[in-house]
Structure 1
Amino acid sequence: MNQLASIRIFAKVAEYLNFAEAAKQLGISNSVVTRSVATLEEHLGVRLVNRTTRRVSLTVTGQLYWERCIELLRQLDDMDECIASAVEQPTGSLRIAASSLYATTDLPDVLAAYRAQEPRMSFDLTVFDNMSDVAASEFDVCFSAERHLRDSSLVCRPLAQTRDVIVASPDYLARRPAPSTPGELASHDVLVASDAPSRYWEFRDAHGTQRVVVRPILNIQSPQVVKRAVQAGLGIARLSRSFVQNELANGSLRALLGDVTLCGDERTVWLLYFGQPHMAVALRSFVDFVVERYRLKPLESKARSDVRVGPAQHQSSNTELLWGEIL
Structure 2
Amino acid sequence: MSGESWLYAAQAMIWTSFNHRISVMNQLQAMRVFARVVELASFNLAARQLGVSPAAVTRSIGMLEAHLNTRLLNRTTRALSLTEAGSKYLNGCRAVIEQLDEMEANLVQSTRAPCGTLRIASIATFAHSGLPSLLGAYQALHPGVSFDVTTFDVHIDMVEGGFDVCFSNDPRLFSSSLICRSLTSIPQIVVASPTYLAAHESLRSPSDLNRHMLLCRSDSGMRCWEFVDGTGTTRLTVNGALISQSYAMLKAAALHHMGIALVPRPLVERELQHGALVPLFDQYEVGAGPRHLNILYSSPSHLSMKVRSFVDFVVDQYRTPGRPAMLKAAA
| TM-score range for the pair, normalised by the shorter chain length | 0.5 to 0.7
C-alpha distance in 1 between matches for 2:122 and 2:115: 21
Q: Is the 8 A contact 1:178 1:256 kept in 2?
A: no
- Decide whether aligned partners of structure 1 residues 325 and 249 sit closer, same or farther in structure 2, where only a CA change above 3 A counts: closer
Contact (CA 8 Å) 2:194, 2:277: kept in 1 or not?
Answer: yes
Per-residue deviation, 1:256: 0.3
1:238-253 residue pairs with structure 2 within 5 A?
238-253=262-277
SS in 2 for 1:136: coil
Deviation string 1:27-84 (CA, Å, 9 cap, x unpaired) is x88xxxxxxxxxxxxxxxxxxxxxxxxxxxxxxxxxxxxxxxxxxxxxxxxxxxxx95
TM-score by length of 1: 0.63
Of 104, 113, 121, the match for 1:97: 121
Q: 1:188 aligns with which of 212, 225, 240?
A: 212
What does residue 240 of structure 2 align with?
216
4+ residue segments displaced more than 6 Å: none
Q: Relative to structure 1, is the Cα distance of residues 267 and 199 closer, same or farther in structure 2, using a 3 angstrom cutoff? A: closer
Structure-2 residue corresponding to 1:175: 199
Q: Where does residue 257 of structure 2 map in the other structure?
A: 233
- 1:152 paired to 2:175: yes
Instruction: Give, as a single letter, the amino acid of the residue that structure 2 aligns with 1:240.
Output: P
Q: Which residue, 257, 275, 279 being the options, matches 2:299?
A: 275
Unaligned runs of 5+ in 2: 1-44, 61-106
Q: State how far apart, in whole Å, the 2-side matches of 1:231 and 1:324 are.
A: 24
1:299 and 1:91 mapped to 2: Cα distance?
26
Matching of residue 166 in structure 1 with residue 190 in structure 2: yes
Q: Which of 109, 127, 139 in structure 2 is aligned with 1:115? A: 139
Amino acid at match of 1:134: D
What displacement does 1:142 show? 0.4
In the alignment, residue 305 of structure 2 is paired with which amino acid? V
Rg (Cα) greater in structure: 1
Match for residue 318 of structure 2? 294
Q: Aligned partners of 1:198 and 1:288: how far apart in 2?
A: 31
Establish whether residue 133 from structure 1 lines up as the match of residue 140 from structure 2: no
Query: How many Å separate the matches in 2 of 1:277 and 1:206?
Result: 46
CA gap 1:171/1:197 in 2 versus in 1, 3 angstroms: farther
The code of the aligned residue for 1:136 comes to V
Contact 1:164–1:241 under 8 Å retained in 2 = yes
Work out whether residues 116 and 146 of structure 2, in 8 Å CA contact, stay in contact via their aligned partners in 1: yes
The verdict on how the C-alpha distance between 1:159 and 1:252 changes in structure 2, with shifts beyond 3 A counting, is same
- Asked if structure 2 preserves the Cα contact closer than 8 Å seen for 1:92 and 1:121, the reply is yes
- 1:5-47 Cα shifts (integer Å, max 9, x gaps): 65x89xxxxxxxxxxxxx9xxxx88xxxxxxxxxxxxxxxxxx
- 1:180: how far off? 2.0
Q: Per-residue CA shift, 1:112-154, capped at 9, x if unaligned?
A: 1111111111111111112x233423201000134x5654221
Report the CA distance shift for 1:248/1:145 in structure 2 as closer, same or farther (over 3 A). Answer: farther
Instruction: Tell me by how many angstroms 1:194 deviates.
Output: 2.5
Which one of the candidate residues 88, 92, 113 is aligned to 2:112? 88
TM-score (norm 2): 0.62
Task: Give ranges in structure 1 of 5+ residues lacking alignment.
Answer: 10-22, 30-82, 302-322
**Identity, % of aligned positions:** 36
* Distance change >3 Å, CA 179–CA 282, structure 1 → 2: same
Mapped partners of 1:143, 1:155: distance in 2: 12
Describe the SS at the equivalent of 2:186.
strand
Q: Count matched residues.
A: 240
